[in-house]
Amino acid sequence: MPGFRTQFQGYSVRFSPFEPSKLAVATSQNFGIIGNGRQYVLEMGPEGIVEWRVFDTMDGLYDCVWSEENENILVSASGDGSIKVWDLAAPPAANPLRSFEEHTHEVYSLHWNQVRRDCFLSGSWDDTVKLWNLAHPTSLRTFAEHTYCVYAAQWNPQQADVFLSASGDCTVKIWDVRQPRASLSLAAHQYEVLAADWCKYNDCIIATGSVDKSIKVWDVRMPEREVAQLLGHTYAVRRVLFSPHVETLVASCSYDMTVRLWDYAAPEDALVRVWDHHSEFAVGLDWSTLVEGLLASCGWDEMTFCWHMNADPRAS
């Protein structure tokens, strides 16, 4: 279907885990350098993608995530270090429902626990990851072993207490919230690691994306060397995401303005498809868990697209 134009530059797009037609898009004015933010909730219908709700913020928004236990709760990561909680069922005056204000620099990453469903993670440019539960007024714990910005924090899809974090210190760390320190620190790339994700079918497999333009696939039981290296992006890789429906499929987006699809287990060429529908940095990407093969992306061209992996994002 045709794309949707937001007022500001897109940073993150997320499919609702409850309603297959709903998308959340976090945006920032002036490329996130200075200015306001706007959290969109979009709806896909026969006429294309339309605006369903919108929430304005004083600072740019860098990420968003849906609650896994309440279809009306949406959380945004803000450039002022705050985390905004929105209730789509509440009147405008009641929002934001909450504002958590513990991070001391930009919040760049959010991820909701899909096993326990009652908590979420935030990753920040203050070098920390924090654990939150909406029933608590403050964070439950701070994880502070990285030495530079945290760009991503992702829960393990099968183990409720395990997550990974990706950092500008060139490492990916694996954590268990029951343990006092990280259980693994992986020297994943020689340059900043901007993205990481778990395989949804084998939780020993992770993928990492870096400023070095590469994507690497790792088995955390054998961290000495990557299982596969996916080369093709010509600028930094901003997001990598395993398919929720096909074990070895990985989607990525990059500052080279492309979205790419890979099969890391392919015997020869891992690159399956390249989409060039963005005219600026492609920085937001998501798979639908409810509709197999459905992807969404957003970018600094202020465009959000939703399409099936076998189709052209620009096709109506």
Topology classification of domain 145-276: Methylamine Dehydrogenase; Chain H (2.130.10)
On the question of pLDDT at 2 being above 90, the answer is no
Residue given tokens 């509709």 in the structure block:
291
Q: What is the pLDDT of residue 263?
A: 98
- Give the DSSP letter string of the chain: ---EE-SSEEEEEEE-SS-TTEEEEEEEGGGGSSS-EEEEEEEEETTEEEEEEEEEESS-EEEEEE-SS-TTEEEEEETTS-EEEEETTS-GGG-SSEEE---SS-EEEEEE-TTT-S-EEEEETTS-EEEE-TTSSS-SEEE---SS-EEEEEE-SS-TTEEEEEETTSEEEEEETTSSS-SEEEE--SS-EEEEEE-SS-TTEEEEEETTS-EEEEETTSTTS-SEEE---SS-EEEEEE-SSSTTEEEEEETTS-EEEEETT-SS--EEEEE---SS-EEEEEE-SSSTTEEEEEETTSEEEEEETTS-TT--
Kindly list the domain boundaries of the chain, sorted by start residue: 1-113+280-316, 145-276
pTM above 0.95, yes or no: yes
Q: What is the pLDDT of residue 1?
A: 61
pLDDT in tens, 110-132: 999 999 999 999 999 999 999 99
Nearest to 82 by CA among 141, 136, 122, 129: 122
pLDDT in tens, 220-263: 999 999 999 999 999 999 999 999 999 999 999 999 999 999 99
On the question of pLDDT at 133 being above 60, the answer is yes
pLDDT in tens, 263-293: 999 988 999 999 999 999 999 999 999 999 9
Q: For residue 313, which amino acid is it?
A: P
Topology classification of domain 1-113+280-316: Methylamine Dehydrogenase; Chain H (2.130.10)
Residues 150-174: what's their mean pLDDT? 98
1-113+280-316 and 145-276 share one fold: yes
Asked if 27 contacts 35 with a C-beta cutoff of 8 angstroms, the reply is no
Residues 27-43: what's their mean pLDDT? 92
Q: What is the pLDDT of residue 35?
A: 87
What six digits make up the tokens of 315?
């096709």
Number of Cβ within a 10 Å radius of residue 157:
18
Nearest to 208 by CA among 233, 245, 183, 244: 233
Asked if 95 contacts 53 with a C-beta cutoff of 8 angstroms, the reply is no
pLDDT in tens, 82-112: 999 999 999 989 999 999 999 999 999 999 9
User: Which residues lie closer than 8 Å to 74 by C-beta, 6 or more apart?
Assistant: 24, 39, 41, 64, 65, 66, 67, 85, 86, 88
Give the chain's mean pLDDT.
96
Asked if 94 contacts 78 with a C-beta cutoff of 8 angstroms, the reply is no
Give the bridge partners for 275, in sequence order.
259
Q: What is the pLDDT of residue 268?
A: 87
